[in-house]
Amino acid sequence: MRRFKKALSVSVAAAMAVSMMACGSTPSDTTTAAPQGGDKTTEAATTKSGGEAETTKSAASGDKIKMRVSWWGSQTRTDRTMEVLNAYGEKNNIEFDYQFYQWDDYWTTMSGFTTNNALPDIMQQDYAYIGPYVDKGLLVDMNQYKDVMELDKVDESILSSGNIYGKGLYGMSLGTNVLCVIYNKTVYEQAGVDMPTNDWTWDEWVSSVKTIYEKTGVHSDIPFISDPKWLIEYISRSFGETLYNEDGTGFGFTDKTIDAYKKCLADIKEMVDSGALVDPAVQVTWKANEDGDIVKGKSASAWTYSNFYVDYQGILEKNAPDNELDLVLMPKIDGATEKGNYLKPSQFFSITKDSKYPEEAAKVISYFVTDVDANKILLAERGVPVSQSVRDALKSSVDPKQAYTFDFISSVGEYCRAIDNPEPKVAAEVINAFKDGYHSVLYGETTPDEAWETFENDAALIFG
């Protein structure tokens, strides 16, 4: 869905980006245009001369604070986020200014803001981007504001995922996901194949796909066709290696990972050829959640994030009412020595260096993730809530499917290992080159060995 909407707004994005770069200033820079000195824009700033203690007082004494918050995502997310923040602002005398975009436009706009020091006070961040932002000193360490945040309510593992490069708490996770295989229980039953468990292996996945196809004619999805990086990252982690090296200047894996990946790819290709997996020419055209075969009961399994389960099951119930989906972790890679899975922060809230009220912003974020009432509005739209108390309180009020993913996330903890360092800034291009290799094998244009060689050449150029 995200990609579909992204496509729709792409020309807008381009136009905006161009105009932004051309004039070097943005329309909505009135509130935070001058973070250091020259604060003529807000009354609070002129009457109280900066400093966190004063800022807090000014909020209490009746002067309205203006604060900008930005995020990407669906309309549902936008509506719920605004509802929560408006209610908070009412009580705490904060006037929020919202900036929301689709994924691509979001990052283009934000990088524009970095050039004229006009980042919003609170910005939604992603694990793929937060690394460079921390490197450039664009974000604020939230540990400074520990006292005003209710960090004890947030799971320890969540806090460590926002501890970027071990330098400090630069991101507060807003929800948790895990990569998994969503499979159609009904189809598995019909084919007489054993239900997968979290301990299943790659070979078991392969044989289940083949058996189901032979017995019922139902194919399965190709793993991660639009982002095969997840596959190789999982493989490398399974051998205790990492996708990128420590300082993000090259790969962090050895031949073990490469060989295992080539073998997996060969298996996939074989099943594509036999028809047991979807034709890649068809699968690449699926954009929205509604497009995939898994939601039509025509695919036995799909590899994706656990938060898609709710949506998938909902759509499937309309298309094929007698079908039922279930979640299972990705199958174990042959010879795996380590736990490959990890709990992924779906996205973060971060305080930027351009914020004039970092302490107020910290309070907002804390409220956002730990307050039960706020989360009853948000309804886990950003992934499983990061606070146990919120999860418990929400279980009764959310959709049973949603509650099911809460349980799933809690139950897979023992299969997970801490997340790797954030991605280097060249990651987007590396990932794309990797996808090229994956696709050229799926389309039968080259072999896994040749594809890997091309990819290594590309990567050498990208890492520079």
Of 74-82, 230-238, 311-319, 425-433, which part binds other proteins (CB under 8 A)? 425-433
Task: Give the span between the Cα atoms of 45 and 121, in whole angstroms.
Answer: 15
Residue 22 is a binding residue for other proteins (CB under 8 A): yes
For residue 163, the one-letter residue type is: N
Region of residue 117 (left: phi > 0; alpha: psi -120 to 50; beta: else): left
Helix, strand or coil for residue 219? strand
Do residues 94 and 68 make contact, with C-beta atoms less than 8 angstroms apart? no
Task: Give the span between the Cα atoms of 251 and 93, in whole angstroms.
Answer: 49
Q: Which is nearer to other proteins, 7 or 418 (CB)?
A: 7
Helix, strand or coil for residue 242? strand
Q: Which is nearer to other proteins, 400 or 464 (CB)?
A: 464
- What minimum distance in Å lies between the beta carbon of 424 and other proteins? 12
Residue 29 is a binding residue for other proteins (CB under 8 A): no
Longest pairwise C-alpha distance within the chain: 76
- Among 7, 15, 195, 418, the residue binding other proteins under the rule CB under 8 A is 7
Residue 463 is a binding residue for other proteins (CB under 8 A): no
In Å, what is the CA distance from 156 to each residue of 7, 90, 183, 387? 37, 31, 31, 10
Residue 15 is a binding residue for other proteins (CB under 8 A): no
Instruction: Kindly state the tokens that stand for 207.
Output: 């044989």
Residue 419 is a binding residue for other proteins (CB under 8 A): no
- What minimum distance in Å lies between the beta carbon of 222 and other proteins? 12
Q: Which is nearer to other proteins, 53 or 281 (CB)?
A: 281
Q: Which of residues 69-108 bind other proteins (CB under 8 A)?
A: 104, 108
Residue 429 is a binding residue for other proteins (CB under 8 A): yes
**Alpha helix locations (H) across 245-331?**
255-274, 280-283, 308-319
Q: What is the DSSP letter of 230?
A: H
The percent helix, strand, coil of the chain (3-state, each to 5) is 50, 15, 35
User: What character string, x for contact with other proteins (CB under 8 A) and - otherwise, covers 341-380?
Assistant: ----------------------------------------
Residue 23 is a binding residue for other proteins (CB under 8 A): yes
- What minimum distance in Å lies between the beta carbon of 245 and other proteins? 20
Place of tokens 């982690």: 237
Q: How many angstroms from the chain centroid is the CA of residue 164?
A: 15
- What minimum distance in Å lies between the beta carbon of 457 and other proteins? 7
Residue 432 is a binding residue for other proteins (CB under 8 A): yes
Residue 259 is a binding residue for other proteins (CB under 8 A): no
Do residues 397 and 376 make contact, with C-beta atoms less than 8 angstroms apart? yes
- What minimum distance in Å lies between the beta carbon of 461 and other proteins? 5
Q: Which of residues 224-243 bind other proteins (CB under 8 A)?
A: none
Task: Give the span between the Cα atoms of 400 and 383, in whole angstroms.
Answer: 15
Residue 19 is a binding residue for other proteins (CB under 8 A): yes
- The residues that touch other proteins, with contacts defined as CB under 8 A, are 7-8, 10-11, 13-14, 17, 19, 21-23, 104, 108, 111-112, 114-115, 132-133, 136, 138, 279-285, 425-426, 428-429, 432, 436, 439-440, 443, 445, 454, 457-458, 461
